[in-house]
């Protein structure tokens, strides 16, 4: 797959709630995910390997509810990167606290797979 095809496919999965399929088909087994800061409650900032990325997604899905989400892009940056922008609102399931989501994600592709994702946002 080309950079554009991978970027389009990931954007499609993010828009349609099929992120697990995206992890399975678009990511390298040793992919790395880097959050802007360490996770609340002492969780990591860096997740290494596809199983760790799945765990990060499971944690998010179990603790947050998405009220609205717009996925903008992809914005390719040749030869090996692209960005997606996420804008929306989420709710912490336990407390009911709502917060705006506004983040940029940069993805790096090698050998036809996403090998790194980095998230930028303010808290």
- Over the chain, what HEC string results? CCHHHHHHHHHHHHHHCCHHHHHHHHEEEEEEEECCCCEHHHECCEEECHHHHHHHHHHHHHHEEEEEEEEEEEEEECCCEEEEEEEEEEEECCCCCEEEEEEEEEEEEECCEEEEEEEECCC
* Each residue's pLDDT tens digit, 65-103: 999 999 999 999 999 999 999 999 999 999 999 999 999
pLDDT tier at 122 (50, 70, 90 boundaries)? Answer: confident
Residues 113/31, Cβ–Cβ less than 8 Å: yes
Q: What is the mean pLDDT of residues 39-67?
A: 90
pLDDT at 86: 97
For the chain, the domains span 3-120
pLDDT over 90 for what percent of the chain? 89
Question: What pLDDT is attached to residue 16?
Answer: 95
Q: Per CATH, the architecture of 3-120 is what?
A: Roll (3.10)
């Amino acid at each position: 797959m080309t950079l554009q095809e991978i970027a389009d496919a990931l954007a499609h999965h993010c828009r349609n709630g099929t992120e697990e399929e995206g992890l399975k088909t678009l990511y390298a087994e040793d992919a790395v995910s880097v959050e802007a800061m360490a996770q609340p409650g002492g969780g990591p900032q860096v997740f290494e390997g596809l199983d760790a990325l799945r765990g990060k997604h499971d944690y998010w899905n179990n603790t947050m509810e998405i009220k609205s989400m717009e996925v903008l892009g992809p914005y390719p940056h040749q030869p090996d990167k692209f960005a997606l922008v996420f804008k929306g609102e989420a709710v912490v399931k336990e407390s009911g606290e709502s917060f705006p989501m506004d983040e940029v994600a940069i993805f790096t592709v090698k050998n036809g797979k996403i090998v790194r994702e980095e998230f930028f946002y303010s808290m």
